[in-house]
Structure 1
């Protein structure tokens, strides 16, 4: 039986919890977690170290709450979805009628890589909807940029307030609509310089060679190998499902390699492409999902003259 604000709700009850002080954070977290524990529900905390300690200290001694390291979970959106689905499936198999998760994205995700985390927040409305999950996604209004907070309101159907109320978000946008909009990524200053390589309609072998040729040896070989796989998938998708010509460009800096693959098409039909594997991989879904597993940032965006996949290995937090 579902309890609390999620009582009577089927599927994922997805709420945002915005707070402007430590007291407000605890006002959101403690009743939510203790209520779950009192009902015998699985209650999980996935916060940064500081906030996790605040919550841990405020909970009653012996409270049945599981703490997971936030940094390990929120490394890449597609990996987070995969690991959470595994976690949720395990608890449901063990008989859980409701699972509560209180978590926050690390502050670094609010910067250069926010576009794919905003996509994550929208996509999980579907990705977790086959589980009896109630989550509060905590956002600190003191450190979260206003543009990111605006996306939070559009990607969460509900807002949890520190006084215990849960109110619907009037601006919530259905994931199919939100993910289908144009959301240009934060510009990367590396792209202001001349590319180390630029190819038109490259073969997959030529694309792989271009990436390896741009590597200056600053990145771990495994990161370069992963980028090569992702670029190969992106080029194959553009050739198979896009409209020519396909343009590959590679930039190199001391801390990252950035590759863009552009074609004249409109991009994948599936708005969830990359974050959730799409069946057998037709329409490019599986290739983009592989890229999301392999790179430290993947940006997908439509523009007036086509569609671009931007892939980053190394440190994307410029």
Structure 2
């Protein structure tokens, strides 16, 4: 993106030799330039890179510590990593990263969004990401999304502009809102015009008290519903409506208002006012951190925010 300090490269590899041919020069050139170098990938990929480079200055992070379960936490993790290492004297931070896209199409979509969001969310940070993708393991829809969310493709020592790259905002707006089977049935709770958010919270809490799953997961979901509803009441257009569905394996809630909608496809991947949370602007950001999936649909009649969490 224009003026971005963040560089977002993609490496497609199908063998250890292809992986080594690109990552070794990336790492060695970074170390020579005074950059910090971090590898955060699957154990197999990290072992290949570490063995090929064999330099104690390369920092290896367990993949889960960087690629957290939910995508906004991963964004924050990389921002903090850049801040920490540049404060320690690094000119820039180079990352050999391997996203864990999960096992289901629903999980894939979250991380497809993430790969596009990074182009904007990390733009002010001095990060150079070499994202590596194993073409023998990843499904075709994921590989297709990678080709559309990285501006540069790497092969060995060669970096070339990616002709398939799509403007991140356009890419995000073009992603589908997945069908949710629970919404085919009658909701446990339906409110067409929220007049008392406190009373509504108690009603939602009563319904959620009957579901299974870890209580901390249910409490997080309740907080996300409360924040989303309050956000709609304060900033949306009346009437504000809510629907809640529950099952043995997940909970789903939609909050609808009739305001102008949310046109920013990057909303919720960081606090609206940066790290200082005292200024507010936390509604969608908190929801993305507290729920497995947050889907936003905007149209001429308003906006619907759908929250989904697996009870696991």
Shorter-normalised TM-score: what interval?
0.7 to 0.9
Question: Deviation string for 1:208-243 (max 9, x for gaps)?
Answer: 234323333422221111111111111122223333
Report how far residue 10 of structure 1 moved. Answer: 6.2
Provide the C-alpha distance between the structure 2 equivalents of 1:109 and 1:160, rounded to a whole number of angstroms. 26
CA contact (8 A) 2:296 2:303 kept: yes
Note closer, same or farther for the CA distance 1:72–1:194 as it changes in structure 2 (3 Å cut).
Answer: farther
Relative to structure 2, which stretch is displaced further, 116-125 or 78-87? Answer: 116-125
CA contact (8 A) 1:114 1:148 kept: yes
Q: 3-state SS of the aligned residue for 1:107?
A: coil
Q: 3-state SS of the aligned residue for 1:113?
A: helix
Residues 1:188 and 2:180 are matched in the alignment: yes
Q: 3-state SS of the aligned residue for 2:218?
A: helix
Note closer, same or farther for the CA distance 1:185–1:170 as it changes in structure 2 (3 Å cut).
Answer: same
Partner residue of 1:177? 170
Note closer, same or farther for the CA distance 1:153–1:110 as it changes in structure 2 (3 Å cut).
Answer: farther
Number of residue pairs the alignment of both structures matches = 305
Q: 3-state SS of the aligned residue for 2:86?
A: helix
CA contact (8 A) 1:207 1:248 kept: no
Partner residue of 2:295? 299
Provide the C-alpha distance between the structure 2 equivalents of 1:58 and 1:221, rounded to a whole number of angstroms. 45
CA contact (8 A) 1:226 1:295 kept: yes
TM-score (norm 2): 0.85
Partner residue of 1:204? 197
Provide the C-alpha distance between the structure 1 equivalents of 2:236 and 2:4, rounded to a whole number of angstroms. 38
Relative to structure 2, which stretch is displaced further, 23-32 or 227-236? Answer: 23-32
Q: 3-state SS of the aligned residue for 1:108?
A: coil
Residues 1:103 and 2:94 are matched in the alignment: no
Q: Which runs of 5+ in 2 are unaligned?
A: none
Partner residue of 1:267? 261
- 1:3-152 equivalent positions in 2, closer than 5 A: 11-60=5-54, 62-74=55-67, 75-108=69-102, 111-152=105-146
Residues 1:287 and 2:280 are matched in the alignment: no
Provide the C-alpha distance between the structure 1 equivalents of 2:242 and 2:215, rounded to a whole number of angstroms. 21
Provide the C-alpha distance between the structure 1 equivalents of 2:250 and 2:123, rounded to a whole number of angstroms. 36
CA contact (8 A) 2:213 2:311 kept: no
Q: 3-state SS of the aligned residue for 1:289?
A: helix
Question: Deviation string for 1:7-35 (max 9, x for gaps)?
Answer: xx961111122223343333333332233
TM-score (norm 1): 0.84
Residues 1:167 and 2:163 are matched in the alignment: no
CA contact (8 A) 1:260 1:309 kept: yes
Partner residue of 2:271? 277
Pairwise CA RMSD: 2.8
Question: Deviation string for 1:40-88 (max 9, x for gaps)?
Answer: 421111112232233333332x442111111232221111111211110
Residues 1:236 and 2:230 are matched in the alignment: yes
Q: 3-state SS of the aligned residue for 1:236?
A: helix
Q: Which runs of 5+ in 1 are unaligned?
A: 1-8
Q: 3-state SS of the aligned residue for 1:310?
A: strand
